[in-house]
Amino acid sequence: MASRGVLVTGASRGIGRATALAFARAGDRVAVHHRDSEQLAEQLLSELPGSGHGLVQGDLADPGQARQVVEGAVSLLGGLQVLVNNAGVSLLHDLTNMDFEEWRAAFDRTVAVNLSGAAYVTYFAARQMLERGGAIVNVSSRGAFRGEPGQPGYGASKAGLNAFGQSLAVALAPHGISVATVAPGWVATDMSNEELKRPRGAEILAQSPFHRIAEPEEVAAAILFLASDEAKFASGSVLDVNGASYLRT
């Protein structure tokens, strides 16, 4: 497969980091996006095998910055064939113990980044792919299906991302662009590793019959597959990567 230009949003840590490494190891050129994690992004950039990689920075909830991120990636990579919408936030906003303004601010920010930001980036990236085709992979969550009581904006934004991706899978197929989604459960990141140390850590591990949580590389492998030509006909799908911790029919 020829080297592709790949934009991975929110690539400085966790799933995004593992995904950037996976594409680079496959021979692709990767634009590593971050919002305000320059040091981590620079560290990742230094670890990517191959050449032609670079950094792009911006707050994707801002339409103007989202456009600049995509345009920067296109300039850096000499074109764009793959977009991975991974950037996201997970802010606690329990309705039962927060005043309205605090709750609204957390809800709005979550939706702005996780759904609107992904939509903005997708618009500008897809416009780059209309003539030659490409692949878009969204990173959702099992929370879109099972609910997130302490952070309803997160569950709502990820459910919206699922529907957004499926709508575009139909709209963009005539242009040779596939759109698919992965929906992980718990993934081993700095944040989740801290949660595992708390009293509910055992309960989190027990959610999966494997009695563990996913490694970022396992989610990245699913993303890499969905972005491949072999997975073109999986466009519109939402692939669960949660270790059977939540089964939907």
CB atoms within 10 A of CB 167: 12
3-class secondary structure for 1-62? Answer: CCCCEEEECCCCCHHHHHHHHHHHHCCCEEEEEECCCHHHHHHHHHHCCCCCCEEEECCCCC
- Structurally, the chain folds into a number of domains equal to 1
pLDDT in tens, 195-239: 788 888 999 999 999 999 999 999 999 999 999 999 999 999 999
pLDDT at 49: 98
Q: Among this protein's residues, is 246 annotated catalytic?
A: no
**What is the structure's pLDDT at 193?**
78
CA 151, CA 44: separation in Å to the nearest integer? 30
Q: Is the pLDDT of residue 1 over 70?
A: no
pLDDT band at 249 (very low <50, low <70, confident <90, very high): confident
* Per-residue pLDDT at 246 exceeds 70: yes
Q: Residue 82 falls within a domain, yes or no?
A: yes
Among 213, 125, 144, residue whose Cα is nearest residue 183: 144
Domain around 90: 5-241
Question: Do the domain assignments include residue 247?
Answer: no
Q: Is 92 domain-assigned? A: yes
Give a yes or no: residue 115 inside a domain. Answer: yes
Catalytic: which of 120, 123, 154, 246? 154
Whether the pLDDT of residue 190 is over 80: the answer is no
Which amino acid makes up residue 199?
P
Residue showing tokens 């609204």 = 104
Cα separation, 93 vs 72, in Å, equals 34
Per-residue pLDDT, averaged over 179-206, amounts to 89
Identify the band that residue 192 occupies on the pLDDT scale cut at 50, 70 and 90. confident
User: Quick check: is 37 in a domain?
Assistant: yes
Which tokens belong to 64? 């103007």
Is 249 a domain residue?
A: no
The percentage of residues in the chain with a pLDDT greater than 90, rounded to a whole number, is: 94
Q: What is the mean pLDDT of residues 111-123?
A: 98
Q: Which residues, at least 6 apart from 37, have a Cβ–Cβ distance to it below 8 Å?
A: 12, 13
Look at residue 76 and tell me whether its pLDDT is greater than 90.
Answer: yes
Q: Would 248 be classed as within a structural domain?
A: no
**C-alpha to C-alpha distance for 224 and 236, rounded to whole angstroms:** 16
The whole-number pLDDT of residue 86 equals 98
- Local confidence band at 133 (pLDDT 50, 70, 90 cut-offs): very high
User: What CATH number is associated with residue 125?
Assistant: 3.40.50.720
> Can you give the pTM of this predicted structure?
0.96
